[in-house]
Amino acid sequence: MMRILLVSDLHYALKQYDWTIAVARDFDAVVIAGDQLDISGQVDGSVQIVVILKYLKRLMAAAQIIVSSGNHDLDSRDPSGEKTAAWMRRVRQLGIPCDGDSIMLGDILVTICPWWDGPFGKQAVEAQLARDRAREKRAWIWVYHAPPLGSPTSWDGQKFYGDAELTDWIGRYKPNLVFSGHIHQAPFVKDGSWADRINQTWVFNSGQQPGPTPTHVIIDTDAHQAVWMSATGMEAVHLDQPLQRPVTQLQQLPEWLRA
């Protein structure tokens, strides 16, 4: 059994990091799918990085954590001139799998993709996916901050803001699960969603809300279920069944979450 917590777009909301640390021991892995920082915030980015690294160090003491970059995390340019989250090297130095890494959770392979800014970054991500496709695994998870273009997980109520390359790569490489974020409104707006299924691939976007508790998705590989929790309520999908619209709303926690 593997129980995974997905959060994203915490944007330097330190109370939401506190909540994540508090619940981390209940999970086999905690995934933060991009946008640790807040480029529109009043705190300088270099200061944010120092603080978030301290939070990640606390979090790794409680659970296996996996971190990818998002567009708010870009702090430098690489030799090709493309924007990059160079501070992720410091995350890796802590012993935390992050951008460009892969990790086995039991027999599940997790591929952690960086936010890419141009052709060189895109080529690196595609090479990473091609490499990991050949690895032996029972299931394959991608952590990729932007959801796929055309998916309700990338709908903000007016326009799709997803990643067209990701849509193509899902079709070609066929992962089992993709963990994303980026479009905060998607789970809350009409025709948007926190969950989507593209052929056999499930895509999740946890979304974003204010307050001390982040929106989050809990995936249980034994129960074959994923549950989304927010201030508006709870919804669930069965991973071994076709996606039904509207997504099932829950009145109480499923038995496997109460255990």
How many independent structural domains does the chain possess?
1
pLDDT range class, residue 256, cuts 50, 70, 90? confident
Stretch 2-30: mean pLDDT: 97
Of 8-12, 40-44, 112-116, 120-124, the one with minimum mean pLDDT is: 40-44
Q: What is the Cα–Cα distance from 77 to 39, expressed in whole angstroms?
A: 16
CATH number of the domain that residue 136 is part of: 3.60.21.10
Does the pLDDT value for residue 255 go beyond 90? Answer: no
Domain of residue 44 covers: 3-258
Residue 259: predicted pLDDT: 65
Banded model confidence at residue 246, pLDDT cuts 50, 70, 90 = confident
The answer to whether 104 touches 94, Cβ cutoff 8 Å, is no
Instruction: To the nearest 10°, report the CA torsion of 243, 244, 245, 248.
Output: -110
What is the mean pLDDT of the segment spanning 151-180?
97
73 — pLDDT class (breaks 50, 70, 90):
very high
